[in-house]
Amino acid sequence: MSDSKNNAAISHEVDVALVGAGIMSATLGAMLRELEPGWSQILFERLDAPAEESSSPWNNAGTGHSALCELNYTPEVNGKIEIAKAIGVNEKFQVSRQFWAHQMDRNVLGDPREWINPVPHVSFGRGEEQVEYLKKRYEALVGHPLFPNMEYTDDRAKFDEMLPLMADGRSASDKVAISWTKAGTDINYGALAKQFLASAKENGTEIRYGHEVTNLTRDGQKWKINVKNRHTGETSVIRANFVFVGAGGMALPLLQKSGIPEIRGWGGFPVSGQWLRCTNPDIIEQHAAKVYGKASIGAPPMSVPHLDTRVIDGEKGLLFGPYAGWTPKFLKQGTWFDLFKSIRPTNLMSYVGVGLQEFGLTKYLITEVIKDQKARMESLREYMPNAKDEDWELVTAGQRVQAIQPVVGPRFSTLAFGTSLINSSDGSIAGILGASPGASIAPAAMLELLERCFGQKMIEWGDKVKEMVPSYGIKLATDKKLFEEIWGYTQKTLQLED
């Protein structure tokens, strides 16, 4: 680029620039402040407040994803339940718990009730096939060190006692089963990000709200960051040694602008979401669990339906969903051109490849988009047969950008479910694509970023990293004693004990 913007005077030099005030930047900023307190940090957020996009509590489901109840992590293949993905996600969530507990010990984080609360996680199966699957899944997980105290029942009386809201009005002939654990959590990632950022500000991080990063260009080993004040229109250029693109859905276009070869071929497909939110406090009180069922055939893992207790600002809530919708925006507060602007000659075939292969996804999206309120309530009634229209309102959830990963061969591309980290080979810039398990595993994702971008430094930082995450480098799945120790410490510190 040789435009005038790029030649503008540098107004500021920093060690670390963070783009976006969501949970990812907040987490990375906290890690780097502890590892390198002398490094200067600046954060740019296009909106006027932190965590207003995906990390906002009503924009996501607030599940502490650890595969306790989400069935997409335990697929059945040739009659056998595979648990490798479940173990992987659970391991990552243990990293989160340790990191958060450590940040509480250091007084970076304050009252945990503001952002983490114990809520049982329940898996729900309905009909012969699902009940059989659920039993097999339970048998595959019970006794595993990372999944202690799981229980299962297909006894109707027990089901009715445990989940009265889901039992009320259900036909006696309806075959159902559940497996559950009390070890689950509901997390307000917005409140968590805000606590991190409040501490960041106190400790010298400069945070500029209402400032949008418009371009990223290499400047030798460093990066020039073009920033626009969205209120005054004023522009500035900042130079940073390291840039983290924690811009949620906008990470793809910003990484494309940086021109790093690692982003070539990647694409993103926006999927918006909606919830039904319960407005009747009597109904909300009758349910205390996150109940996850099976996704419909062809539906992506993000679409798994759940009837979900939330705890937001000290108040209990209840939501059901998500229902998928569609807009070409990459952020809830994005623009109608986001998708079209992200299509480049280098990733066109990735979009075409996914379009040709993913009939299931296309069919699922069309079915969801044409669903009216009556159809939405019918889906809810599979979980809560007596649900009444007047007790539920439709709210818009956060915007997801499903990452499309280029692959070599005739397929051209594949959908990359999960959270994908992209970084330049010299480690001077990195960003996160994708969503779920997203926020739940932010600390593990950011540790992976540190390993990839600051490889040599990780040796020097070793002791501090071990303080942050005592199990760092150890698979808890194979060390039951350490898992129990860490579980005890995090339960106590995060105030999750009964």
Residues that bind ligand FAD (CB under 6 A): 19-25, 44-47, 51-55, 59-63, 65, 189, 212-213, 246-248, 250, 254, 273, 322, 331, 397-398, 400, 432, 435-440
Element (H, E) at 427: none
For 235-259, b where at least 16 C-beta lie within 10 A, e where not — what string? bbbbbbebbbbbbbbbbbbbbbbbe
* Minimum gap (Å) between residue 419 Cβ and ligand FAD: 7
Nearer Cβ to ligand FAD, position 357 or 420?
420
* Minimum gap (Å) between residue 106 Cβ and ligand FAD: 21
For residue 185, give Cα distances in angstroms to 81, 225, 234, 318, 413: 24, 38, 43, 14, 35
Give the C-alpha separation, 237 to 223, whole Å: 10
Nearer Cβ to ligand FAD, position 18 or 176?
18
Nearer Cβ to ligand FAD, position 226 or 428?
226
Nearer Cβ to ligand FAD, position 167 or 380?
380
* Minimum gap (Å) between residue 302 Cβ and ligand FAD: 7
* Minimum gap (Å) between residue 45 Cβ and ligand FAD: 5
- The amino acid present at 488, given as its one-letter code, is G
Give the C-alpha separation, 473 to 454, whole Å: 16
* Minimum gap (Å) between residue 85 Cβ and ligand FAD: 15
Number of other residues whose CB lies within 10 A of the CB of residue 462? 12
Give the C-alpha separation, 472 to 479, whole Å: 12
How is residue 154 written in tokens?
């297909």
Q: Which residues pair with 180 in a beta bridge?
A: 122, 151
Q: Is the dihedral of CA 350, 352, 353, 358 positive or negative?
A: positive
* Minimum gap (Å) between residue 129 Cβ and ligand FAD: 26
Helices (H) and strands (E) in the chain, counts: 17, 21
Which residue, judged by CB position, is nearest to ligand FAD in the bound state? Answer: 438
* Minimum gap (Å) between residue 53 Cβ and ligand FAD: 3
* Minimum gap (Å) between residue 151 Cβ and ligand FAD: 22
* Minimum gap (Å) between residue 335 Cβ and ligand FAD: 11
Nearer Cβ to ligand FAD, position 341 or 466?
341
Nearer Cβ to ligand FAD, position 87 or 255?
255
Give the C-alpha separation, 298 to 304, whole Å: 11
Nearer Cβ to ligand FAD, position 27 or 428?
27
What burial class does residue 374 get, using C-beta atoms within 10 Å of its C-beta: 0-12 exposed, 13-18 middle, 19+ buried? exposed
Nearer Cβ to ligand FAD, position 48 or 484?
48
Nearest-10 crossing angle of helices 189-202, 23-35: 40
Label the pairing between strands 413-415 and 419-423.
unpaired
Give the C-alpha separation, 137 to 80, whole Å: 9
Q: Which residue, 248, 119, 100, 260, is CA-closest to 183? A: 119
* Minimum gap (Å) between residue 249 Cβ and ligand FAD: 6
Nearer Cβ to ligand FAD, position 254 or 403?
254
For residues 434 and 18, the answer to whether their CB atoms sit within 8 Å is no
The count of C-alpha atoms lying within 13 angstroms of the C-alpha of 360, restricted to the half-sphere facing its C-beta, is 9
Nearer Cβ to ligand FAD, position 24 or 284?
24
Give the C-alpha separation, 320 to 365, whole Å: 18
Nearer Cβ to ligand FAD, position 166 or 319?
319
Where does 249-335 have alpha helices with state H? 251-258, 281-285
* Minimum gap (Å) between residue 290 Cβ and ligand FAD: 9
